Amino acid sequence: MRTKIQCGWLVGYAGSGHVLWRDAELVYEGTQIVFVGERFDGTADQVIDAGGKLVIPGFIDTHVHSGHRASHRLISDVGRSDYFGQPFFEISVPRAGTRVGGDPRYARPDDVAAAEELLLNARFTVAELLRNGITTFVEFGSQLKVQEALDAQVNELGIRAYLGPGFDSGRWVGGPGGRLTRVVDEAAGERELALALDFIERRAGAHNDRMRGILVPREVETCTPALLRAAAREAHARKLPVAIHAAYNIHEFFDIIREHRMTSIELLEEVGLMSSTLNVGHGNFVAENPLMNYSGGRDLEIMGAYGCAVSHCPVNIARRARFLDSWERYRKAGVNIALGTDTYPRDMIMQMRIASYFGKVASRNLRAASAAEVFEAATLGGSRSLGRDDLGRLAPGAKADIVVIDLSGRGTLRMGPVRDPVKSLVECGIGDDVDTVIVDGIVRVEGGSIMGIDFGALRARTQAAGEHIWAGWADWDPLGRSADEMCPFAFPRAN
């Protein structure tokens, strides 16, 4: 079936970048775009009226930790000083002899009771992504059962995903007095890599090729060099993209230097992982960052030489008093900046705004991190990191992954007068402005609603799940703290 969208505004693609059309038309047939321009001379079976609205490519979220993230609500405005602001230490490191409680992402593989929670987490994740105009996402290394639950939602709700169970050579636990203690298990890393490859072999190409595989060695410091080399060999042999947390954590930065006498980025090059389809999670604690006090660093030069991507998660790191230092330096070095939502909220429009504002401040340049640059990071940056020239753009031959933005402010005065719709979107927009989402030529969100999803019921279920997690926090917290002790309410409770 051939569908024509009549667009008030349209972000098309020409040459090597986005272009802006006024009063234009886009036509797609099946899963592909066949026309972008002023007027289409052919016939259409269906017409979508997007007059007065902005039509853009679907966003690509290169850094997603799935689930409703109830645990992260306990690190809002608080945190252990000895963790240096690193969020996963706070909510993912259990007291020795225990497991992270209430969160099915950390459940034992044979825990049947966690199956319902896995489904809830996966459904919440995909629904939130779609509702915010994200048509492609990368899940950053959850275990096999989580990937299987997400794969089922890719099929049911129609999003595009890069999935692959994460693997590592051991994790962290809270030792005596809550001290961080690393547990090394090289054999487990080998088994998990084999599981990841098996999952990808079984599932890649499923759902009309909307599901593809990605290798995710979870963190550079929890993987041995041997495991990283094995991942590099498999990625090259199978032509798979790779995602890994690196240069993201002050502990990690200095641990890698102490153990290997090189930075994390240098280590990734040493083991053969550096490439244009390597997605470095966060990548903000590089050698050139003044906070590291590291002389002679060349991390940005290395990443730029390979066209490596950094999945920049501006909202998530800003909450932990961090920022990319600086947007301008990364761009000048040739680093491919892509955007990720990481945990919550999965609002890519908010991510673009925060990336732009912090990018200007850190670069000390009002021209840095422009609306055009952050929009490119949310679209083309992601497609480059995945080696895809058919995503992140609206052009003939590209996938029909399309988002329609309501520029009216939905009954508010928030948008004000709109002269440049892209700048208005970045400066004044929110995820709720997403009106329609099309993935692979099929409408998945219409009028802000997802067929088969009751947002009220889904919110109620996730609230109940969160209450359960918070109630059991002291059972596994390394310091034995309750939720209220770890994260007091913003104001004293009156009742």
pLDDT digits (tens, 9 = 90+) for 141-169: 999 999 999 999 999 999 999 999 999 99
pLDDT of residue 363: 96
Return the sign of the alpha-carbon dihedral for residues 377, 378, 383, 385. Answer: positive
Q: What is the pLDDT of residue 109?
A: 64
Query: Which SS3 state, helix, strand or coil, does residue 411 take?
Result: coil
- Regions in the chain scoring below 70 on pLDDT: 104-105, 107-110, 112-113
How far is 166 from 433, CA to CA, in rounded Å? 33
| Those residues with Cβ within 8 angstroms of residue 437's Cβ, 6 or more apart along the chain or in another chain | 58, 130, 131, 133, 135, 402, 403, 404, 443, 444, 445
Q: Give pLDDT, residue 381.
A: 99
What is the pLDDT at residue 298? 96
CATH topology of domain 2-57+395-450: Urease, subunit C; domain 1 (2.30.40)
The per-residue pLDDT for 265 is 99
Alpha-carbon distance of 276 to 240, in angstroms, equals 11
C-alpha dist (Å) from residue 242 to 130, 211, 300, 445: 23, 15, 18, 29
CA of 448: how far to CAs of 55, 247, 311, 445, 454, in Å? 15, 37, 27, 6, 12
Predicted confidence (pLDDT) per residue in 86-125, tens digit: 988 998 899 988 888 777 667 666 676 588 889 999 999 9
pTM for the complete prediction?
Answer: 0.97
Q: State how far the Cα of 156 lies from the Cα of 365, in Å rounded to an integer.
A: 45
| Portions of the chain given CATH number 3.20.20.140 | 59-385
Residue 326, preceding peptide bond in cis (omega within 30° of 0): yes
CA distance 460 to 455: 9
Compute the distance between CA of residue 180 and CA of residue 88 in angstroms, rounded to an integer: 12
Amino acid 97: pLDDT? 86
Q: What is the pLDDT of residue 100?
A: 82
* DSSP codes, 248-307: --HHHHHHHHHHHSS-HHHHHHHTT--STTEEEEE--S-TTSGGG--TT--HHHHHHHHT
pLDDT, position 399: 99
* CATH number of the structural domain 59-385: 3.20.20.140
What's the CA gap between 398 and 9, in Å, rounded? 19
CATH 2.30.40.10 residue spans of the chain: 2-57+395-450
Q: Alpha-carbon distance 270 to 263, whole Å?
A: 10
Extract the tokens encoding 345. 């909220």
